[in-house]
Amino acid sequence: MSEKDFESLEKVLETYVPEAERREVRRLLFGKELKKLDFPQSAIDAAVEQDFDLKGYVFEASPEQLRPPRTVRVGLIQNKIVLPTDAPVLEQITALHKRVGEMVEVAAMCGVNIVCFQEAWTMPFAFCTREREPWTEFAESAEDGLTTRFCIQSTYYMEGNTGHPVFQTQFGKIAVNICYGRHHPLNWLMYSVNGAEIIFNPSATVGLLSEPMWPIEARNAAIANHCFTCAINRVGTEYFKNEFTSGDGKKAHNDFGHFYGSSYVAAPDGSRSPGLSRTRDGLLVAEMDLNLNRQVADKWNFKMTGRYEMYAEELKKAVQHDFKPNIVKE
């Protein structure tokens, strides 16, 4: 069983583990059982015809007397590159726009309000080659570039000196924690402190090194911050014409490794959706009642019990050059 052929954890459990035990296994791995979303037949047919994974789940909250449910549907899209990495740049971009555009159409059929793509979705993940050309040609103006015009969405990519902005939309307060940012629990916290109800994490990550971390980090952030998190990873293996090394002493190679997809949504109550495929393009639709955030906060109180004033003071001390760690010696 090669790493690239392994379809998904969920598939293996479904194939081999008997129903009674599987229910317990799913509870431990995924939390509360989620209802599946019903999609129109046209959406299901389109996903089959266009050969991508289509999944949908509902995160429910309890009904309340004074607040109506705040239901929103988000779509996570993971996709392979379409053309080889040495095809002309504009053709590569156009092919990706077409492919992802089709998937967005299906998302619309599924009633999705907010869609989030994988990191750097309009290009191959060429950073690994450490070459400049032709990859810098994929860069676009965030204000009026091809892709912005294609999407007609607000910008997600911000400079690193603007703090942790949260975008108030008609579907709730959302934030975007890009790729490597998921490794820092404090990034997630800061978005949450600014009021984020859903935090997206568009990512591009490969193989053996990060895969066991993948189901942990965004999910921990949903738990710790009483919010929803959406982790989206690129899928597929991308071949580059010029071989390159990865600074790990291994031989030069023409691909960065297998991007393992496995996009998922995590909820504040510790539950999560199954992941999309490790090998196929996919659209994951999650319907969530944002009231769940408040309800879980009322039950667990992590945000209320967090000693942020103390942390602020301790961190401030910790970054001083003469910081003395609090170590008790024997």
Q: How far is the CB of 150 from its own copies (least distance, A)?
A: 20
User: Given candidates 41, 133, 319, 321, which one binds its own copies under the rule CB under 8 A?
Assistant: 319
164: burial class by Cβ within 10 Å (0-12, 13-18, 19+)?
buried
Q: How far is the CB of 235 from its own copies (least distance, A)?
A: 15
Q: Phi and psi of 288, rounded to 5°?
A: -130, 140
152 touches its own copies by CB under 8 A: no
Residue 62 sits in the site that holds its own copies (CB under 8 A): no
The piece of 36-44, 132-140, 159-167, 287-295 that touches its own copies (CB under 8 A) is 159-167
Do residues 166 and 227 lie in contact, with contact meaning Cβ atoms separated by under 8 Å?
Answer: no
Do residues 286 and 74 make contact, with C-beta atoms less than 8 angstroms apart? yes
Instruction: Extract the tokens encoding 218.
Output: 């965004």
- Nearer to its own copies by Cβ, of 94 and 210: the residue is 210
Distances from the Cα of 46 to the Cα of 27, 42, 74, 78, 134, angstroms = 32, 6, 19, 16, 34
Q: Near its own copies by CB under 8 A, which window of 56-64, 129-137, 212-220, 285-293?
A: 212-220
Report the residue from 60, 137, 140, 211 that binds its own copies according to the rule CB under 8 A.
211
Return all residues near 235 (Cβ < 8 A) that are at least 6 apart. 78, 79, 80, 118, 259, 260, 261, 276, 277, 278, 279, 280, 281, 282
Closest separation in Å from C-beta 141 to its own copies: 19
Residues 297 and 69 sit within 8 Å (Cβ to Cβ): no
Among 69, 134, 145, 270, contact with its own copies (rule: CB under 8 A): 270
| Residue 253 vs 303, nearer CB to its own copies | 303
Structure tokens at 133: 């050309």
Contact mark string toward its own copies, 4..43, x via CB under 8 A: --x--x--xx-xxxx-xx-xxx-xxxxxx-----------
The only residue of 95, 167, 280, 295 in contact with its own copies, by rule CB under 8 A: 167
